[in-house]
Amino acid sequence: MLIKSATFITSAVKPSQYPPAVLPEIAFSGRSNVGKSSLINKIVNRKRLVKTSRTPGRTQLINFFDFNEAFTFVDLPGYGYARVPEAVRKKWGPMIETYITGRSTLKAVVMILDIRRTPGIEEQNLTGWLGSHHIPIIRVLTKADKLSKTKRKKQLGLNANALSLDEAAFVLFSAKSGMGKEAVWEAIESVLGISR
Ligand code: GDP
């Protein structure tokens, strides 16, 4: 995908603040520090379009970005950061569920998982909301460069088992090496209906 323009649109916490639902949208979700900003920046070839907050998880904002005036990427707030105040943490579920269940232009969610972990309760909840609204999930195991080939394969198997999915349902990714970048785009272009 050739990214000709990349623009931050707005931040929102509730639907009245979302931009008009016009262009097809891909949302990105993941635990705080999973590598979500790095993944988005890597695939769109922009070093600092999506900024990492220095206190991860404190700002629970949904950030919208326009690409090529053709589609929108949505950076959903990270979850699971231990030092986030309980009051903030409680807002995550309803905020994400409201976005997912009410956004008519949402085409898919890229669920980003650390390859060294296995899915937790937040991923299970998310999978449930998306499933009931028939929204495709693109599953990405990131930081793949941190594991040897053998350990990578083992973690892929564990993640596939945990979600009762085929190993082919996951993209192995590394923002460091660029591994999986093409595969992520293939999945995104497929749900956006863009032919390659
Ligand atoms: P976010 O909180 O999910 O947006 O996570 P970031 O993108 O800010 O990444 C968190 C940390 O993990 C940073 O120190 C990144 O440099 C590092 N990181 C992210 N992706 C990768 C990756 O694919 N490989 C390696 N080795 N480090 C990564």
Amino acid at 143: K
Alpha carbon of 20 to ligand 1 centroid (Å): 31
User: Measured in Å, how far apart are the chain's first and last C-alpha atoms?
Assistant: 8
Q: Locate the ligand 1 atom nearest the alpha carbon of residue 174 and give its number.
A: 23
- pLDDT band, very low/low/confident/very high, at 56 (cuts 50, 70, 90): low
Mean pLDDT estimate for the chain: 93
Q: What is the pTM of this model?
A: 0.95
Residues with CB under 6 Å of ligand 1 are 30, 32-38, 52, 56, 78, 142-143, 145-146, 174-176
Ligand 1 atom 2, closest CA: 33
Q: What's the pLDDT score for residue 73?
A: 98
Tell me which amino acid residue 16 is. Answer: S
Ligand 1: centre distance to CA 45 (Å): 15
Task: Return the amino acid letter for 196.
Answer: R
As given in the structure block, the two tokens for residue 23 are 């262009």
DSSP letters for 60-93: --EEEEEETTTEEEEEPPPB--TTS-HHHHHHHH
d(CA 34, CA 12): 22
Chain segment 62-76, per-residue pLDDT in tens: 999 999 999 999 999
* pLDDT score for 46: 95
* Average pLDDT over every residue of 144-161: 98
As given in the structure block, the two tokens for residue 111 are 């669920």
Ligand 1 center to residue 142 CA distance, Å? 9
